[in-house]
Amino acid sequence: MQRRGEARRVEELNYGKAPVRLCAGRLDSDEVAEEPPGLRRPGRGREGALANRLAHPAWAAEPNPAHLALARLARSTISTQVITQNIDGLHQRAGTPPGRVIELHGTISGVVCTGCGDRTAMTDALARVRAGEDDPPCTRCGGILKSATIMFGEALEPAVFKRAAAAAAGCDLMLAVGSTLIVEPAASLCAIAAEAGAALVIVNRDPTPYDTAATAIIRDPIGVAVPRIASQLLAASRV
């Protein structure tokens, strides 16, 4: 690790060899802390709560070049963990093995009962909506169903964050991609990685609070920078 404040572009870094353990994360997004459609709030009903999910933009979204590049790394000999606060499942759709994706804010692909905690597929709940159930209840206990995502006022699941923190502490290289790094506690994963001795590479258009801890800062577009970094790391792993 070089001294703080001396961040360089990734092209100038001498990896020597590819990292054995890579941690890549988009550590904040526009999708965090969703409006809670699955919970009754004072003065508001639940009419169409799950029906609103039928038109969610996640269903039409497609993996971009950065998703695909990270998937290449995750399928390589480089042990890769992808940490995300996005709920769209695009990393898995891009080809990253599900076991290597840590979804800090959950996933829109599932629903959870607020009563008994039973988890089922969102596709099953939406099929019931299409069949005429405006607000389908839990089939196990009759409780309220909500998407399996973190809502306003909800804390991250401790076990999920613990897994993310362990990945950050154990990696050789942390890529923080497309993040302003202001949403906590997720952004603190950068500090965990850097303090454990990992190289921290930040790929973001604008400055972040963690720039002074970075080994490299890249301002290029994500769709250009991440595939380039992936190709460099994969080439180094074959040396």
| Structure-token pair, residue 5 | 């404040």
In a domain, 157, yes or no: yes
Q: Return the exposure string of 116-143: e unless at least 16 CB atoms fall within 10 Å of the residue's CB, then b.
A: eeeebebeebbebbeeeeebbebeeeeb
pLDDT over threshold 50, residue 32: no
- CATH code of 127's domain: 3.40.50.1220
pTM of the model: 0.83
Domains held by the chain: number:
1
Q: Tens digit of pLDDT for each residue in 107-120?
A: 999 999 999 999 99
In a domain, 2, yes or no: no
> What is the rounded average pLDDT of the residues 46-71?
81
Helix, strand, or coil (residue 74):
helix
> What is the rounded average pLDDT of the residues 148-165?
90
In a domain, 134, yes or no: yes
> What is the rounded average pLDDT of the residues 75-80?
93
Residue 116's closest CA among 89, 91, 146? 146
Rg of the chain over all Cα atoms, to the nearest angstrom: 19
Q: Tens digit of pLDDT for each residue in 12-30?
A: 454 445 566 888 876 554 4
pLDDT over threshold 80, residue 226: yes
**Does 105 qualify as catalytic in the annotation?**
yes
In a domain, 1, yes or no: no
What CA–CA distances, in Å, run from 191 to 21, 53, 172?
17, 35, 13
In a domain, 141, yes or no: yes
In a domain, 3, yes or no: no
In a domain, 5, yes or no: no
Q: Which of 56, 67, 91, 105 is catalytic?
A: 105
In a domain, 89, yes or no: yes
What is residue 238's predicted lDDT score, i.e. its pLDDT? 80
Query: Which residue stretches of 53-211 are H helix?
Result: 65-74, 90-94, 122-130, 158-170, 188-195
pLDDT over threshold 60, residue 43: no
Amino acid at 215: T
Range of the domain at 156: 10-237
Identify the weakest region by mean pLDDT among 51-60, 89-98, 140-149: 51-60
Q: With pLDDT > 70 as the criterion, what percentage of the chain qualifies?
A: 81
